[in-house]
Structure 1
Amino acid sequence: MNTKDEMYKKLVILGGGESGVGAALLGKKNGYEVFLSDGGALKPKYRQELIDNGIDFEEGQHTAEKILSATEVMKSPGIPEKNEMVKQIRKQGIPVISEIEFAYRFKGNSKIVAITGSNGKSTTTALIYHICETAGLDCALVGNIGYSFAKQVAEDPKAIYVAEISSFQLDDIKEFRPDISVLLNITEDHLDRYDYKFENYVRSKFRIIENQTMNDYFIYCQDDEVIMKHLALLTIHTNPLPFSMKQEVKKGGYIKGDQMMLRIQEERVSMSIYDFALKGKHNNYNTMAAGIAAATLGIRKEKIREAVKNFHSLEHRMEFVAMVRGVEFINDSKATNVNSTWYALESMSKPTVLILGGTDKGNDYSLIEDLVKEKVKAIVCMGVDNKKIIDAFKDIVPVIVEADTAKKAVNAAFKIAVKDDVVLLSPACASFDLFKNYEDRGTQFKDAVKEL
């Protein structure tokens, strides 16, 4: 056994969610001594997996002596740096890595397509995966989108991993290097985790390319000012493939009129945007990014066209729920920041009753002020503390009501709405004040709509 192996033998995992348990299984499989510690209660299915695999764990506490004896700590992306246990680990100089870093270590010769951005990453990740599947490639959908990357590597390795990556996961990488990285956009989000400094968050997103080489590709939006400004400060060691709706690019992708053009190596793909399954300007960007990634993987243009035409959008992301007495209900619970809500409102063509609110992450509501003025007839605030939203919109929206459950919010919105209106759940906030997560919020919203 070489010294590197010895160095990395005692793995402590902080956080027993999807990524934590996945890393525990991968660690156990590769001969690590694994201890998992969660400050809260574990979900029954995760607890059972740890027991079934003989993995040592604790819940409801963090035992300092056990944790600080680690040679390496894998920290769940949800745990902030200001957590007391994390501070102690840092003080002791114990290396801290993220789950994607750990999974990367054991991926073998597999390729990674990694997607990040403030908005649209789940949709783009799912679309790239759908194109790969349509082309018959041996691939898996992993990362932030719901299935642990580490667990996939441990239990069912694939030739290609299509991974949605958050800034939190990128914060703790060392060697993680995607073959193809995609950066969709950067807008203010999660500033509470970055000392309220936007530039810290921007730097974090750009870590997706820090280990890339000239054998790799970097797909990015040339129309995003924040990306272009930061890119101008960097020397990059990867192959740039920009995409744009404002100008033609030599390599990458662009939309001119109603035609999407992709130019990658010898492959040329053209397609009418009216054939895209995903509608709206923001989804044109997502579709271009996915198309470039697919072409870079060598997928034939017929397969790209076919997949882009028949893709179904994700649950909780601009999801049509029902039409009740002429009122359309849309579940966009995954909109956990103001920019996501901006995109949702931008695609609305009917008078809208907007359900907003939850745990505020340092939101600047002035970003959606113009769209709210133009499209929103009423706001239903669904949160514990709605003062900031009420203050932001009380002078421009005639009707603002408050609700503390999804059912009350849906009933209030339905009372206000008339035939040919839309009730849009697009909260612009995290969900943790009233719900377990954004999925729980979206599901409760859908259940309440079905009861109308």
Structure 2
Amino acid sequence: MKNELKNGDSLKPSFGGFGRLVVLGGGESGVGTALLGKAKGYDVFVSDKGKIKEKYKQVLIHNEIEWEDEKHTEAKILNADIIMKSPGIPDKAPLVKQIREQGILVVSEIEFASKYTNATIVGITGSNGKTTTATLTHHLLKGELEVGLAGNIGDSFAKQILEKDYPNYVLEISSFQLDDIVDFKPHIAVITNISPDHLDRYDYKYENYIASKFRIAENQTKEDFLIYDADDEVLTIWLAEHPVQSTLLPFSLVKTIENGAYLENGNIIITINNNKIIMPTTSLKLEGNHNVKNAMAASTVAHLLKIRKQTIRESLENFQGVEHRLEQVLKINKVQYFNDSKATNVNATYYALESMDAPTVWIVGGVDKGNNYEELFPFVNEKVKAIICLGVDNEKILSAFGGMVDVVVETQFMSEAVKIAYKLAEAGDNVLLSPACASFDLFENYEDRGRQFKEAVRNL
């Protein structure tokens, strides 16, 4: 197959040649990249230090792509022309340091894949809300456009380009994926917000993490757009000190915005080049101020891409939300159970507690990522009647909230946590799983944690 590069081809060395492509990591993005690379004429090798899942092994075998797992054979890696590194592998890994010392080009999947499409790309990043915003944006666009949803969601971007190159893509992009871009440039970039997260990957320097998020706009030109939260001081201060080329479209709950989106008398008002549309927030199925912001960002994208107002309104009305993100599970004895397992940092839990409108039994805990719980104090004082700590080490949570709440219980079992919550909650209360922590001490991942919660609730 002819190896045609699109979206410019300034990547060097050997990008777009029939060179050797080594893929580090045999997960969704890695295998997708391997398939696309092979189709474009590369000599492909996949290497994973862990165990490659059986379903991915079968894909590699079926497509006659050479692979290894549970080891990295340096001789087979260091002769690469280009290396696609899965986002989970940190730059501090000795092998990655060696690769960089040898001057081999390291890219992320979104960088590699974007070279083989002329699609209009909407790239969405942020510490919180990016999954909901990406899913909602895709939902608003798909009524009138052919559009793929990729990045951190669903089938990999590379695989979708290979199998069905959509004319438009919505990509949910993490800071780890942005760390390894070179030329990648979304036509529309969205930054939902920035709060401290993953600082262990950024030398515990907040500014490094912020800079990483802003890489989404670094290759943009004045023909491109950056949509961002104008109420987020981290974003506004950074933009004032590090101007970007793109056209800015801010959104705000409290300011009047001339070009962008704002809230007025319960309506979202979006203006782009004097073209105004008005959306009542009553159309929103999702609750909470953070979801008004997610809707503003998604609707601004839709308005930019000329989606009709009626379609936007109807799509906002019927959007169901994202699993494990403030998901309403069941109402039992007039107690509503919420699964917010995706809240793996304090800022995400802030939004969850903010949206609680009844006394709440809060299930919290897991692997602490250097959390500062202070911003939660007002909500805990006002709304939380009991805390259930679900983690191996709950010391920090106990010392932060022990004096605020009468009932604090510890457990290491989800089924037990839910049974305790059932006993503590009275008619009209909420039970909220919003851990503010990573899940790896007791669960495989946040999805596993959320599913166990839902199963335990259904078994009450």
Which residue of 67, 74, 77 maps to 2:77? 67
TM-score scaled to structure 1, two decimals? Answer: 0.96
Shift of 1:5: 4.9
What letter is aligned with 2:125?
T
Q: Within 5 Å, give how 1:167-316 maps onto structure 2.
A: 167-265=175-273, 267-316=275-324
Q: Which stretch shows the higher mean deviation, 402-411 or 54-63?
A: 402-411
Q: How far did residue 448 of structure 1 move?
A: 1.0
The Cα shift of 1:8 comes to 6.6
SS at structure 2 position matched to 1:235: coil
Q: Following the alignment from structure 1 to structure 2, what is the Cα–Cα distance between the partners of residues 6 and 344? A: 45
| 1:149 maps to 2:157 | yes
Structure 1 residue 34 corresponds to structure 2 residue 44 = yes
Of residues 376, 381, 390 in structure 2, which corresponds to 1:382? 390
The letter for the 1-side match of 2:236 is M
Letter of the aligned partner of 2:122 in structure 1? V
Equivalent residue number for residue 436 of structure 1: 444
1:132 equivalent among 125, 137, 141 = 141
Deviation larger for 439-448 or 260-269 = 260-269
Alignment partner of 1:103 is 2:113: yes
Q: Given that residues 261 and 268 in structure 1 are in contact (C-alpha distance below 8 angstroms), is that contact kept between their aligned partners in structure 2?
A: yes
2:168 counterpart residue number: 160
Counterpart Cα distance in 2 of 1:431 and 1:5: 38
CA distance in 2, matches of 1:221, 1:79: 30
Matches within 5 A, 1:1-80: 4-5=14-15, 9-80=19-90
Q: Residue 267 of structure 1 contacts residue 295 of structure 1 at CA under 8 Å; is this kept in 2? A: no
Q: 1:70 to 1:411 in 2, by over 3 A?
A: same
Once residues 255 and 337 of structure 1 are traced to their aligned partners in structure 2, the CA distance between those partners, rounded to angstroms, is 27
TM-score (norm 2): 0.95
Of 111, 116, 121 in structure 2, the residue corresponding to residue 112 of structure 1 is 121
Q: 2: CA distance between counterparts of 1:419 and 1:51?
A: 55
Partner of 1:360: 368
Alignment root-mean-square deviation, CA: 1.5
Task: Give the C-alpha shift of residue 170 in structure 1.
Answer: 0.5
Tell whether 2:338 aligns with 1:319: no
Taking only the aligned residue pairs, the percentage that are identical comes to 54
Alpha-carbon separation, structure 1, partners of 2:252 and 2:16: 48
1: CA distance between counterparts of 2:449 and 2:380? Answer: 22
Aligned mates of 2:417, 2:226 — CA distance in 1: 42
Q: Are residues 1:123 and 2:132 paired? A: yes
Distance, in Å, in 2 between the alignment partners of 1:61 and 1:169 is 23
How far the C-alpha of 1:145 sits from its partner, in A, is: 2.1
Tell me how far apart the structure 1 counterparts of residues 72 and 15 of structure 2 sit (CA, whole Å).
26
Contiguous gaps of at least 5 residues in structure 1: none
On the 8 A contact 2:18/2:43 being kept in 1, the answer is: no
1:189 Cα deviation from its structure 2 partner: 0.9
1:380-414 per-position Cα deviation (integer Å, ceiling 9, x unaligned): 11122222211211111222222212212212222
Tell me the SS of whatever aligns to 1:204. helix
Structure 1 window deviating more from structure 2 (76-85 vs 169-178): it is: 76-85
Distance 1:6 1:27, change over 3 A: closer
Alignment partner of 1:134: what SS? Answer: coil
Q: Cα distance, 1:443 vs. partner?
A: 0.7
Cα pair 1:8 1:32 within 8 Å, conserved: yes
Question: Which amino acid counterpart does residue 128 of structure 2 have in structure 1?
Answer: N
User: Is structure 2 residue 103 aligned with structure 1 residue 93?
Assistant: yes
Deviation at 1:358, TM superposition (A): 1.4
Contact 1:8 1:72 (8 Å CA) reproduced: no
Deviations for 1:144-177, whole angstroms, at most 9, x for unmatched residues?
A: 1233111111111101000101111101100000
Aligned-pair CA distance for 1:266: 5.1
Q: Which moved more, 1:57-66 or 1:176-185?
A: 57-66
CA–CA distance in structure 2, aligned partners of residues 333 and 436 of structure 1: 12
Is the Cα contact below 8 Å between 2:17 and 2:42 reproduced in 1?
no
